[in-house]
Amino acid sequence: MKLAVFGATGRMGLAIARLAHESGDIQLVGAICAGSDPNLGRDIGELAGVGTIGVVTGADVPSGLLGADVVIDFSTAKAVVPLLDAAKKQKVAVVSGTTNLGEVERAALTAAASKVAVVWAPNMSRGVQVLAEVVAHAVKRLGLDFDVEIVETHHRRKVDAPSGTALRLARAVHDARPGLSETYGRQGEVGARPDDEMAVVALRGGDVIGDHVVHLFGPGERLELIHRATNRDLFARGAIAAARQIVGRGPGLYELSDVL
- Burial degree of 42 (CB within 10 A; 0-12, 13-18, 19+): middle
Candidates 154, 212, 215, 227; catalytic one: 154
CA distance 153 to 228: 9
Cα 46 to the center of its chain, rounded Å: 25
- Length of the chain, please? 260
* CA distance linking residue 220 with residue 73, whole number of Å: 45
Nearest to 213 by CA among 193, 229, 197, 231: 229
The single residue of 2, 115, 158, 174 carrying the catalytic annotation is: 158
User: Is residue 174 among the annotated active site residues?
Assistant: no
Residue spans of alpha helices (H) in 6-149: 11-23, 44-48, 61-65, 77-90, 103-113, 126-142
Concerning whether 154 is annotated as a catalytic residue, the answer is yes
**Residues known to be catalytic:** 154, 158
